[in-house]
Amino acid sequence: MNLFAYDYMVRALIGATIIGLAAPAIGIYLVQRRLSLIGDGLGHVALTGVGLGLLTQHSPVWTAVVVAVLGAVAVELVRERGKASGDVALAILFYGGISGGVVLTNLSASKSSRSLVSYLFGTPLTTSAQDLVVVGILGAVALTVALLLRPWLFAVSHDEEFARVTGLPIRLLNLTLAVTTAVTVTAAMRTVGLLLVSALMVVPVATAQQITRGFRATMYLAMALGVSASVAGIGVSWQADSATGATIVLLSIVAFVVVTVGAGAARRVRAGRPSSARRPQDGATPDDAAAEPHEVVLGR
């Protein structure tokens, strides 16, 4: 059985590779700002765009991009104000997005609930050559922003207040990240679907950060994990005849659990072995961690 013997498999694998790289590359900034669920919310909003495309007989991907980008700008403006009521505003936006998508799709000529399900959960094996071009363009945009703007997006995600005092264009960077998130979500809807795309943005990052020491290393490892899960997920789902998008996400979560258990075990082994640094000799200068009361040692 050769995976590459069929054109549709090759297209599915190329699409999955692009998404596997792009989703965690943007997702790392969202995880760092504790906005892990934003991708999910924008997926809901994008569904209204899909419905709009089906109703007006335009390409649902492009209408989804437009609606998701508008939603992302709205989300960022709400977040910037930082009001407690913003939480409710976001909830209304997200539920409005998914309801709008369902209503518009039902109104459309096709009246097919099957097409809606394919956008919600992804159908990579039916990716056409035209779909692949769209995914390639959107994925390239997301990757370019994530990689080229890393120093600035890192600064604003790591410590927004400091970045402001550094004179960085905070609002432009935040809007760029929000819009790129929307682009990534819509690019991924063919592969993992709008309801599961957020998982591919978040889970590989959560896995990588348990064994890395730096931001750049976390980003690259998360991208490698994202590609592995996507490609393996396509292979497994083809063999087992399982839902592809969900298989990709489940494989990512398996990797997360394995790494979490492994990293925890490694930490326990290290903790059980007393090192000279942990127990300074009498008369030697103790290192800072040992000299301080442990409340101020910020264990992160």
**Part in contact with other proteins (CB under 8 A); list of ranges 79-87, 90-98, 121-129, 209-217:** 209-217
Output 92 or 172, the one with its CB closest to other proteins.
Answer: 172
Q: What is the DSSP string of 261-297?
A: HHHHHHHHHHHTS--TTTSPPTTSPPPHHHHS-GGGS
Phi-psi region of 185 (alpha: psi -120 to 50; beta: other; left: phi over 0): alpha
- The single residue among 17, 62, 147, 154 that binds other proteins, judged by CB under 8 A, is 154
In this structure, how many other beta carbons lie within 10 angstroms of the beta carbon of residue 274? Answer: 8
Binding-site residue total for other proteins (CB under 8 A)?
Answer: 44
Q: Is 252 in the site for other proteins (CB under 8 A)?
A: no
How far apart are CB 34 and other proteins at their closest, in Å? 5
**Out of 84, 109, 240, 291, which residue is the one contacting other proteins (CB under 8 A)?**
291
If the CB atoms of residues 3 and 168 are measured against other proteins, the closer one turns out to be 168
Given a contact cutoff of 8 angstroms between Cβ atoms, the answer to whether 118 and 126 are in contact is yes
The one segment of 130-138, 227-235, 246-254, 284-292 that binds other proteins by CB under 8 A: 284-292
Q: Euclidean distance between the first and final Cα of the chain, in Å?
A: 47
The reply on whether position 279 binds other proteins by CB under 8 A is no
Q: Is 129 in the site for other proteins (CB under 8 A)?
A: no
How many helices (H) and strands (E) would you count in the chain? Answer: 13, 0
Q: How far is the CB of 272 from other proteins (least distance, A)?
A: 18
The answer to whether 202 and 41 are in contact (CB under 8 A) is no
Q: Which helix (H) or strand (E) holds 69?
A: helix 60-81
Based on CB atoms, which residue is closest to other proteins, 115 or 260? Answer: 260
Distance from CA of residue 34 to its chain's centroid? Answer: 12
Q: How far apart are CA 91 and CA 71, in angstroms?
A: 12
Cβ contact 27:39 at 8 Å: yes
Among 10-18, 55-63, 82-90, 214-222, the segment contacting other proteins (CB under 8 A): 214-222
What is the nearest approach in angstroms of other proteins to the Cβ of residue 58?
34
* The two three-digit tokens of residue 166, written as one number: 């550094």
- Name which of 111 and 267 has its Cβ closer to other proteins: 267
298 is a contact residue toward other proteins (CB under 8 A): yes
Tokens of 278: 């942990």
Stretch binding other proteins (CB under 8 A), from 11-19, 76-84, 162-170, 228-236: 162-170
Is 283 a binder of other proteins (CB under 8 A)?
Answer: no
Among 272, 274, 283, 299, which residue interacts with other proteins (rule: CB under 8 A)?
A: 299
| Cβ-based neighbours of 36, under 8 Å, separated by 6 or more | 27, 30, 198, 201, 202
The residues that touch other proteins, with contacts defined as CB under 8 A, are 28, 31-34, 149, 151-152, 154-155, 157-159, 161-169, 205-206, 209, 212-216, 218, 285, 287-289, 291-293, 295-300
